[in-house]
Chain A
Amino acid sequence: MTQFIKLLARNQLALAGGIILSIVVLVSILVPILPLQPPDVTNTADRFMAPFSEGHWLGTDHLGRDLLSRLLWGTRLSLAVGAAAAIVAAVIGSAIGIVAGYFGGTTDNVIMRGVDMLMAFPYILLALAIVAALGPGLMNALIAVAAVNIPFFARNIRGITVGIAHKEFVDAAKLAGKGHLTILTTEILPNVVPVIVIAMSTTIGWMILETAGLSFLGLGSQPPQADLGSMLGEARSALITNPHTSVVPGLMIFIIVMSINLLGDGVRDALDPRLRSGALSRPKPTTTVARQSSPPHGPGEGVLDIRELETQFHVGKRVFKAVNQVSLNIEPGECLGVIGESGSGKSVTALSVMGLVASPPGVITGGAVFHGGQDLVGARYSTLRRLRGDKVAYIFQDPLSTLHPLIRVGEQLAEAIRVHHPVGKAELRQRAIDLLNDVRIPNAESRVDSYPHEMSGGMRQRVAIAMALANEPEVIIADEPTTALDVTVQAQVLSLLDDLRREHNVAIMFITHDFGVVAQLCDRVAVMYGGQIVEQGTTDDILANPAHPYTRKLMECVPELGAGRRELAAIPGLPPAVDDLPPGCAFAPRCHKAQAECTKAPIEMTRGGGRAVRCLYPETKLVEEEPA
């Protein structure tokens, strides 16, 4: 709640709207005890007095009634009717929406088609029809305005409810013995209340306007009772001769609706989690670079050389050290596995290479990434853009979200090529077909015209691989490319990747959490934990003799097929939070070998025999480097 108020206060327009509205509301609450003249007493002798006249600050209207008094009483009435209409519309509309969204199926269909019919009428026509049926009067105007706005709430809330009704916690509540009504009120309602509040705060101003509109037409408040709409309506005939009688209520409507809308927008921005997390602040095209020390010197070894890379996320005052002093290099045609659990920094390392970490909040704070003698960290956007997808290509986990759903896969492949190489249309199509053939998609000639949704998950991932291969890259960075796939499909995609890297001599940086996959595909492995590489070496060495206690423990945790029923090994405790890393070894709190020294200072990498380990008490001693 305090966070909500803080966020709201940061928005100056919303704050101003809130202050003005509070004053208006406060004054209209106090109207009965303010020393005002009676609003309905006519005195035709004093009609149309100008503002600032004696005894009448805002002048008088066509019947000589005090405008200030009428304005304040009218504001009080308009606010009350508008707010009441909003509450009625919100309660009924939300109830309809929740019921339709929760029960779904035919119930949903019938209710929502009814709501659609209500929406098909122009709102003012519908309101007029309701008032015509019920007869004029403020209460009937309120009913009409509420009824007209029910569909808005019903549709909004139904959409939100549909998403919530399929959440597992609703199923869990059913299994815990709750009935439909209890689930609706205690499980679903608390989750939709913020949306109802948002919808109300943005529509209440609109409803005040609509009530004023009906009163203006003489269908709302009846004389002599004043509300803002009827005041305008009565002043209409004197608009030219005595404009102040229209301007006064008109200005008041403007002030109320404007301040409500400003406040409402602020409430929405502060309550909506998507807007709060900054989804509207679009990330920059490359990650921000703010290196605190001079970067390592090039030109770097191999096709991709990551040196002492540090990537952090700055969220408010908290600093998440996602990647900390990571050094990796990949030789041409080599497959390097990067293995780690969630939050170990493996994906952020991969995204940092081409400056793809979202900024804000991501910042590269140190290190360098060399490719072809050039440091990619801090390279200009145009340079990165030229290299992205050309020399360095990515494959991501979920092919459904990386392929554009409305464009045929052939055109997406062609686009990937066209961005980097000027090639004719016919040739592009042929290249796309060749690429699909390369990734063993049967009937490539017809598949090239398919949309992504027409393909299975495995096929889509093959298309994504084809796209990565489109420009004959030197490095492919594959971020958990088979995690979303079934095992039988995974086996095929892995063997395809293995064949392709030999055929095209492309280096692969393969990010995964699965030792089985690493063992089958990768030449070398780097194990990450808490944002650091804790062990690096050839796959065979590491799998046969893991040196870091974490690697060893992690391998013991992986159940292997064929060993029968058994107790599985577990690592006690939880992975560290990267905004609160211990000063020494990040694994020390969970490590059975940890000593006091392990927790004092950062542990350096020990190298030997083509391996490296970041541990003071490794499981196996590394072979000393023999002098050449």
Chain B
Amino acid sequence: MSLALQLDDLSKTFPVGKPLFGPAKAHVRAVRPVTLQVETGETLGIVGESGCGKSTLARMLVGLLPPSTGEIKIEGHRLNNANPAEFGRSIQYVFQDPISSLNPRKSIRSILEVPLKRLHGMNAEARRARISEIFASVNLREEFLERYPHEFSGGQAQRIGIARALAANARIMVLDEPVSALDVSVQAQVLNLLARLKGEFGLTYLFISHDLAVVEAVSDRVAVMYFGAVVEVGKAEKIFAAPRHPYTNLLAGSAPVVGRPLTPPEAKGTELPDPLNPPPGCPFAPRCPKATEICRDVDPPLEQMGEDQFAACHHPLDA
């Protein structure tokens, strides 16, 4: 199996309260060093709650944010210069808010033409043919090409966003909450379209979402993030059924499920640790029912637990 994407110790630190000259007063670690591999043709789901760093990670992957440390290898090549145009040919991004990701003052055709012209230098004739082809593959009628973004519903706009990502002809796509702004009945249309395109074009997906059920339904493997770090990685069918990290367990237990009685999943506070003053040990320790002295002192590394599951925990749950 070839690797589509390899991340080594990728991290991002943002300065806080930076004066006009001189160093910043403090730093927030949005993403703590992350090491991950994604195989070609795989869908890796990334889940986590708001503020866990999943969007920051995604923006580094496509070169929209320069990483503070570490490196990204795409198909074996190191692309670390944070130049989105260079990234654009091999990795593309589908945004959460389908409407605001389309410039309101441009027709759909001129939006789709940009990657063809800029990244692939196609002439007008070739662009026209390619746009028709892409538009057909996302199930949209060609007459929509001359319209403007505000004339579309969320589901249609998201398909246009996917068409734009396809137009760049990248083989890896970062999908950042691609269906969370859509209604349930439309959400499945987009997810199924994504699944079909993946087979058709041999794409690799990074699927970011806060909805565990959606991630489980579309992913091969899932990475769970908490407070800027990956705390557990495993096969989609196993990670929520048999979590090793207590946080994964808490997430799985919190999702409302038909037929499960309503019980509060945890009695302690749900406050995240202060990112300006992170605790020395495991950031989940203050909320963890199994936390002991070592958890509060030493941040556990990601270790293999079981055949293809990794978790960062001193006291993992039984398989």
Contacts and interface: CB of A to CB of B under 8 A. Distances in A.
A486 B210 contact: yes
Contacts of B62: 175
Contacts of B59: 171
Interface in A60-115: 106, 109-110, 113
Contacts of A341: 183-185
Contacts, number: 211
B274 to A, nearest CB: 11
Contacts of A564: 216-217, 236-237
B26 interface: no
A554 B185 contact: yes
B105 interface: yes
B257 A561 contact: yes
Given A175-B64, A519-B256, A565-B218, A456 B271 contact: yes
Interface stretch (B85-93, B130-138, B309-317): B85-93
Nearest to A493: B264
B217 A559 contact: yes
Given A341-B184, A560-B213, A187 B103 contact: yes
Contacts of B228: none
Nearest to B86: A177
Given A173-B114, A187-B103, A442 B269 contact: yes
B103 A174 contact: no
Interface stretch (A39-47, A196-204, A570-578): A570-578
B214 interface: yes
A495 B188 contact: no
B272 to A, nearest CB: 8
Interface string B50-66: 10000000010011100
A488 B266 contact: yes
Given A490-B256, A560-B258, A175 B168 contact: yes
Contact of B88 (A175, A558, A563): A175
A495 B264 contact: yes
Interface residues of B, number: 80
B46 interface: no
Given A176-B88, A513-B183, A565 B262 contact: no
Most buried by A among B119, B260, B264: B264
Given A174-B85, A521-B262, A169 B101 contact: yes
Interface in B147-194: 153, 155-156, 161, 164, 167-168, 183-189, 191-192
Closest 8 CB pairs of A and B: A177-B118, A516-B256, A570-B188, A168-B101, A486-B49, A559-B213, A571-B185, A174-B84
15 contacts: A167-B101, A171-B93, A176-B119, A176-B168, A177-B114, A341-B184, A456-B270, A487-B254, A491-B262, A519-B258, A561-B216, A562-B240, A565-B217, A574-B153, A575-B185
Given A175-B93, A487-B49, 15 more contacts: A110-B20, A167-B101, A168-B100, A171-B59, A171-B101, A176-B164, A177-B88, A177-B119, A179-B85, A342-B183, A486-B50, A491-B262, A561-B252, A562-B257, A575-B183
Interface of A: 106, 109-110, 113, 167-169, 171-179, 187, 190-191, 341-342, 442, 456-458, 486-492, 494-496, 498, 513-517, 519-521, 543, 553-554, 557-572, 574-575
